[in-house]
Amino acid sequence: MLYKKTLRELLDLIDKREITPKDVYSSVLNRIKQKENKINAYVCVFDEFEENKVKGMLSSLPVAVKDNMHIKGKKTTCSSKILKNYTAIFDATVVEKLKHAGASFIGKTNLDEFAMGSSTETSYFGTTHNPWDLTKIPGGSSGGSAAAVAGGEAVCAIGSDTGGSIRQPASLCGVVGLKPTYGRVSRYGLVAFASSLDQIGPITKNVEDAAILLNIIGGKDSRDSTSSNIEMDDFTKYLNSDISGLKIGVYDKVLPDCSADVQQSMENSIKIFKNLGCEVKSVDLPNAKYAVSDYYIIAPAEASSNLERYDGIKYGFRIDNYENLKDMYIKTRSRGFGEEVKRRIMLGTYVLSSGYYDAYYLKAQKLRGLIKQDFDNVFAGVDVLIAPTTPTEAFGIGEKADNPLQMYLSDIFTIPANLSAVPAISIPNGISKNSLPLGLQIMANTFREDNIFKCASAFEKEFNILDKLPLD
Amino acid sequence: MIVKDDIKKIAELAMIEIKDDDIDKFSMQFNEILDYMKEMDTLDLSNQEAAFHITEMKNVFREDTVHNSLDNDTATLNAPEESEGFFKVPKVI
């Protein structure tokens, strides 16, 4: 039953020599064999335990990595047909750092194709199912990572978050997901979707495990010039803080748009913070309501440029029959990309095209500045900002698959943090009437993950659903 | 309002082919998304600076030192067609 334990608990047992890392690996692998045909959390599972000879703090414990980050010698598919046979030729910086910390790896987790989606339904390798209810989506795009952790198919996982892709699936699967400040974690070796928004972070069973992993993966990297040289901290030292006096802003303007369950869970969390002695007050981000529009201009624009590289020449799928070079490009891309990826490339191409640049792209960049100012104003008065992670519990598989706009709107509360570069975590915030988990989002000013860990850890001690995770 | 011909033009710019049968669905979804984005028209952004860089970092420099990079065999490992360490492209002219 080792697969049920947290990273911290397993590290302690290894320290005491009560178990070996291979025991953990075998337990998780067994669990995968039992559950994977129903959940489909992985694109690829590594069947052989490869002990890490580096004597690091992770003691060869297995980590699951979203399949848009490179582990040298293993496939990186981005859950796309166009990369289904791509073998990574170098390690992503986060993977290198995990290896230096002694980690081993259990597999590559499923995602929406190129991380474009909120449900993991756009994966070329099939939908991932929510382990709480197999008829529901696990969220996305890191749905494989979140479902694996929630269902015991991974001790902990690494995801990436461009508009909520760590926090939204963490929320819908009842686990913890952290999007660090933009620049906190190197993006080198993360296949680019929207480079000004992408950020890598941990998905774990509890807040402490997230702090342990952020300590390992964060820091300046000369291979990502946007990674920050702001010094890394030991985030585990904030875990048992007294948070009385902590100033918490509640973004409550959005609550009327949420389900009754989500509204109730927010009321409950406000009560908990008040009982812990926090100063809780209502705050507003007047321009955040435009975040979905802003994001669906900026992210597709960047994606249309980033995904130009898939041309059937350097790597990836190439169509067999074509008339000439241009025909090869067009046919390769048309057969290699799925529908949502094509839609976003085209949306991005449109907003950048001559005659529309000012009306869309330039306007969106200005709006992004306004949204960032909203956050600056809020954090001048509070230490952290709380909001629901999602407006509702997990929706049904297929429910929004044919309605891209409705799918996009499911990320309305997570997108503002990406646009503003601020760090944000989703932690479990109870269970809905339909027995599905809900999430509480805690945001802080840039590079103030310390405040997030203080607040999240104190809340988790008062209220968590660890014993309710679908681990049986 | 995006019409069929616009979709064809955008697809051509993006080097993507949209099948005739799918164009109507694509235009409808495109229009729905662009209609939603009209909410931005209510904002006065005339005095707002564009936030092309959201972080405060400026001009990140590094020393221009020689270091090892990928060798040809590794770089072409995933190429659909390769010859003697080079990418092989379809005939251009």
Q: Is the pTM of this model over 0.95?
A: yes
| Structural tokens at position A393 | 């519990």
pLDDT interval class at A402 (50, 70, 90): confident
In contact, B15 and A329? CB cutoff 8 Å: yes
Mean pLDDT (chain A, rounded)? 97
Q: Which residues pair with B82 in a beta bridge?
A: B87
Q: How far is A114 from chain B (nearest CA, A)?
A: 16
**A404 residue type, one letter:** P
**B57 residue type, one letter:** M
Q: For the segment A424-449, what is each residue's pLDDT rounded down to a tens digit?
A: 999 999 999 999 999 999 999 999 99
> Rounded distance, CA A227 to CA A214, Å?
14
Q: Do B48 and A367 touch (CB under 8 A)?
A: yes
In contact, A194 and A302? CB cutoff 8 Å: yes
- Closest in B39, B40, B55 to A226, CB measured: B55
> Rounded distance, CA A4 to CA A154, Å?
9
Q: For the segment A40-89, what is each residue's pLDDT rounded down to a tens digit?
A: 999 999 999 999 999 999 999 999 999 999 999 999 999 999 999 999 99
The set of residues, in sequence order, having a beta carbon less than 8 Å from that of A148 and lying 6+ positions away, is A39, A41, A42, A64, A109, A154, A157
The set of residues, in sequence order, having a beta carbon less than 8 Å from that of A384 and lying 6+ positions away, is A246, A247, A248, A249, A442, A443, A444, A451, A452, A455
Q: Is A197 strand, coil or helix?
A: coil
Q: What are phi and psi of B48, to 5 degrees?
A: -90, 135
- What does A70-105 look like in DSSP terms, one character per residue? --TTSB--TT-GGGTT-B-SS--HHHHHHHHTT-EE
> Rounded distance, CA B43 to CA A458, Å?
39
Q: Do B57 and A226 touch (CB under 8 A)?
A: yes
Q: For the segment A289-336, what is each residue's pLDDT rounded down to a tens digit?
A: 999 999 999 999 999 999 999 999 999 999 999 999 999 999 999 999
**Longest CA–CA separation in chain A, Å:** 71
- What does A160-225 look like in DSSP terms, one character per residue? EESSSTTHHHHHHHTSEEEEPPTTTB--TTBPPSSTTT-EEEEEESSHHHHHHHHHHHBS--TT-T
Q: Do A346 and B57 touch (CB under 8 A)?
A: no
b/e burial code for range A119-128 (CB count within 10 A of at least 16 → b): bbbbbbbebb
Cα A80 from chain centre: 18
* Chain B residues with beta carbon closer than 8 angstroms to that of A446: 55
- Cβ–Cβ contact B29 with A under 8 A: yes
Assign a CATH topology to domain A2-241+424-468.
Amidase signature (AS) enzymes (3.90.1300)
Residue A386 pLDDT > 80, yes or no?
Answer: yes
Q: Which of A95, A107, A120 is nearest to A155 (CA)?
A: A107
- Say what the ipTM of the complex is: 0.95
Q: For the segment B35-93, what is each residue's pLDDT rounded down to a tens digit?
A: 999 999 999 999 998 988 888 888 888 889 999 999 999 999 999 999 999 999 988 87
Annotated catalytic sites of A, by residue? 66, 141, 165
Secondary structure string (H, E, C) spanning B61-72:
CCCCCCCCCCCH
In contact, A178 and A202? CB cutoff 8 Å: yes
> Rounded distance, CA B74 to CA A89, Å?
7
Number of cross-chain residue pairs from A and B with Cβ atoms under 8 Å apart: 145
Cα distance from N-terminal residue to C-terminal residue, chain A: 9
> Rounded distance, CA A310 to CA A12, Å?
45
- Cβ–Cβ contact B66 with A under 8 A: no
Domain ranges in chain B are: 1-39
Domain ranges in chain A are: 2-241+424-468
* Residue of B19, B25, B28, B37 for testing the chain A interface, max A β-carbons within 10 Å: B37
Per-residue confidence (pLDDT) for residue B62, from 0 to 100? 84
Per-residue confidence (pLDDT) for residue A291, from 0 to 100? 97
* Chain A residues with beta carbon closer than 8 angstroms to that of B83: none
Is the bond preceding residue A354 a cis peptide, omega within 30 degrees? no
Q: What are phi and psi of A16, to 5 degrees?
A: -80, 0
